[in-house]
Amino acid sequence: MPKKFCNQCGVQNRKVAQFCDSCGVPLTPQARTISAVGTHSELPLPEFIRTLLGTRILATLPRFKSPGWRYQGKADIGCPDCKNAFEVFRKPYKTTKGDYEYWAIVCAKCGSCNGLDAMDTITTRALRKWADSVSRPVHVEISTAVSPQVASRKDPPPPPEASNGKIEEPAKQRVLRPKLSPTEEQMAIIEGAKSNTDIAIEALAGTGKTTTLKMLADSKLGLKGTYVAFNKSIVDEAKAKFPNSVHCSTAHGLAYQAVGRDYASRLHSTQRLSFKQIADWLEAGAFGFKSSISNHVLDPAQMAQHASATVRNFCKSIDPEISDQHVKMPAIIKAHSPNSKAFAKAVVPLAKKIWADLLLQQGFMKFNHDHYLKMWQLGKPTIGSDFILFDEAQDADPVMLDVVNSQSSSQLVYCGDQFQAIYEWRGAKNALTMVHVDEHLWLTQSFRFGPAIAEEANRFLKSLNSPKMVRGSEEVQSTVKRVPNPDAILSRTNAGVISAIMAEQSRGRSVSIIGRPEELIGFAEACQRLINGGRTGHPELAPFLNWDGVRDFVEENPDEAQEIKTMVKLVDAFGTKKLISSLHQVVPEKQADVVVSTAHRAKGREWDDVRLNGDFLHTDDMDWEDLRLAYVAVTRAKKTLDMTSWDTISPRVSNGQSDRGSTRTVKDRPPLSLDAKPQEAAPKGIASRVKRSNRPIEDWADRI
């Protein structure tokens, strides 16, 4: 029975159809027939498929556009998207190493066309097994009374009108992009992983890290793998790409399955405890001490707060028990003083009591995700995989890093960009400079941006003494210039974020922010409490007695007040009511004209056009962390990078002299090490003493 093909769009239709199921045009009674005799077509693959099957494909691989393809036949293997049986084409080619064949796996229903290397492991095995059962290619004779007429992609035919008067949208044909052939750097990584030795992959910004890890996983057929990342969104992306043989999870996800589910009732409890309630339960007393100024007393609630913080620090360490080193001294108690020893002696027993309660499946204290992760690590778990892919290793959680490093029976692959290590302030460890591996391999070819943006990124990589520079893609047109209406505006500080929000809203643009606006609203409310004459517990403003004290500090210490100076100006200019109102007007990202974010929160994201705010430090004033943050910021752009505001930043000046100093110039910094030794700490300067108001608060929804 002849098959019916649409002369307008080339889609195969039901044999009884009078109108095309896709575009709705009338079907001509003349139809193409296919028989398994005659000679094969010497057309390029896209034309061959369109003529043979009536299916239009998107040919993105260069090898698809050359003639010489043979039709292998219809394999009894379903397309993962529409379950239609695959049509298989193969083309022989020769190299100095032997004779091989290209594969084209085509679905005539959805129009997808992929190489064999784009299939998952199970499908690949099934296709190879099927191909082995086919002795030779199927020769076809193509008889067409009417040649297919393919409509323009830019001008599709109008959709048909349904009987109810409403316009029906035609069914969209999903076209899967074939997987690109690996680059030389990617091939080196794949070959390096085949040795089953531990390796570290240094992947500079936009260099296809996840794609490379997928290639690596695909090369390990028959082996069980585990992919681990800190962020849930990254894991979800990996799940859609990796073969079924690789289990993708966050660190907390692995720990939850092993330990956390036993504490589900405590974890999901809505209980909220004040520090006064905790102090009563702990039977905590006050701690008094004498400073250089006067006598001070920390009340029981404050002691309970410090005990809770001690447990939190313990849970972020790899230590087996709570000790003095997990106690963070209050600012009014000098480290290594008699007061500090007495304070730690008072706090540690309280912290141990809290931890003992947390170990119970039913207890008093509020239970969180870090608690079961720490319990899991203390139990010395075995992941049980042939290989482990540890992504974003530059921001490794010390607890999870300890778990991964202890997997002696698994091949360990660490992957990340050590120059994007911007979370050391919250306890993250740059695993790429710490782990003992057999080989360090690099990814330097960026697919995100072109040479112009790569040049800006390399300015900071050079300052960080990177042994490698990022290479921009010649296929991506990127520029560095002013952008009137950028897709994203990135700031160094929270105050800079608020300033950008108000500026864009005043221009009539809808604004979205990455993260929770409640954090910034809390900052503004803390300012208002000081203005009203009260005190605040906000970490940035807690030392001040009133708003006049904040103003005096900014005026007398302009360098150290760099982080809050912008916020003070905004409060004095607009008032906290206006600031809070602007923050309440932010919209979801899909509804926004522009996204505003700190550079910290923008990590892992990308936009076409990005503007950098003017609250970054001058290059000569940057310490290690600021240089890495700048590198992250400039590499978020794909097409256009706006550094107009940044170009106006001047070095800090004190008493008429540049405050840089020879010990803080970037050229004098030691090079970054790629061996097993930890990176040497950056020299301390003004920038290193600044409080980090731009650091985002924890978002546990991303952990599980």
Q: Which helix (H) or strand (E) holds 452?
A: helix 451-463
CA distances (Å), origin 680, targets 438, 459, 673, 674: 22, 21, 9, 12
Looking at residue 112, its pLDDT comes to 82
Residue 283 — very low, low, confident or very high, per pLDDT cuts 50/70/90?
A: very high
Pick from 33, 39, 45: nearest CA to 144: 33
What pTM value is reported for the model? Answer: 0.63
Q: Residue 322 corresponds to which amino acid? A: I
Q: Helices marked H in 532-683 — which ranges?
A: 547-556, 562-584, 599-602, 624-634
Say if residues 142 and 51 touch (Cβ distance below 8 Å).
yes
Mean pLDDT confidence for 13-27: 62
CA distances (Å), origin 657, targets 446, 563, 591, 652, 690: 40, 22, 48, 9, 20
Quick: pLDDT tens for 359-408: 999 999 999 999 999 999 999 999 989 999 999 888 888 899 999 999 98
Strands 637-642 and 607-612: parallel
Which residue(s) pair with 412 in the sheet?
Answer: 388
Say if residues 76 and 42 touch (Cβ distance below 8 Å).
no
CA distances (Å), origin 355, targets 54, 261, 310, 351, 402: 67, 18, 10, 6, 20
Q: What are phi and psi of 297, to 5 degrees?
A: -135, 125
Q: CA geometry: angle at 50 spanning 44 and 56, to 5°?
A: 105
Tokens encoding 243: 């073969």
36-40, 492-496, 514-518: least confident range: 36-40
Task: Give the Cα separation of 697 and 316 in Å (integer).
Answer: 15
Residue 656 — very low, low, confident or very high, per pLDDT cuts 50/70/90?
A: very low
Task: Give the Cα separation of 379 and 148 in Å (integer).
Answer: 66
- Asked whether the CA dihedral 103, 108, 111, 112 is positive or negative, the reply is negative
Say if residues 453 and 635 touch (Cβ distance below 8 Å).
yes
Q: Which residues touch 117 (CB under 8 Å, ≥6 apart)?
A: 179, 181, 218
Report the first-to-last Cα separation within the chain, whole angstroms.
Answer: 54
For residues 495 and 676, the model is more confident at 495
> Residue 510 CB: number of other CB atoms within 10 A?
14
Task: Give the Cα separation of 301 and 275 in Å (integer).
Answer: 5
Looking at residue 13, its pLDDT comes to 65
Q: Which long-range contacts (CB under 8 A, 24 or more apart) does 129-132 make?
A: 130/75, 130/76, 130/77, 130/88, 131/72, 131/75, 131/88, 131/90
Say if residues 157 and 10 touch (Cβ distance below 8 Å).
no
Task: Give the Cα separation of 214 and 245 in Å (integer).
Answer: 11
Say if residues 169 and 23 touch (Cβ distance below 8 Å).
no
Residue 672 pLDDT > 80, yes or no? no
Spell out where 166-303 has E strands. 199-203, 225-229, 246-250, 287-290, 295-298
Mean pLDDT confidence for 226-241: 86
Residue 429 pLDDT > 80, yes or no? no
For residues 417 and 56, the model is more confident at 417
Quick: pLDDT tens for 289-342: 876 556 788 899 999 999 999 999 999 999 999 999 999 988 778 777 888 899
Q: Which residues touch 380 (CB under 8 Å, ≥6 apart)?
A: 406
Pick from 453, 686, 530, 498: nearest CA to 596: 498
77-81, 604-608, 651-655: least confident range: 651-655
Say if residues 322 and 349 touch (Cβ distance below 8 Å).
no
Looking at residue 484, its pLDDT comes to 92
Task: Please compute, for residue 651, the number of CA atoms within 13 A of its CA located in the half-sphere on the CB side.
Answer: 13
> Radius of gyration of the chain from Cα atoms?
31
User: 99-103, 330-334, 457-461, 688-692 — which one is most confidently predicted on average?
Assistant: 457-461
Residue 348 pLDDT > 80, yes or no? yes
Q: Residue 618 corresponds to which amino acid? A: H
For residues 188 and 42, the model is more confident at 188
Task: Give the Cα separation of 692 and 630 in Å (integer).
Answer: 15
Looking at residue 697, its pLDDT comes to 36
**If DSSP codes are grouped into helix, strand and coil, which group holds residue 85?**
strand
Pick from 694, 595, 589: nearest CA to 637: 595
Say if residues 599 and 617 touch (Cβ distance below 8 Å).
no
Residue 505 — very low, low, confident or very high, per pLDDT cuts 50/70/90?
A: very high
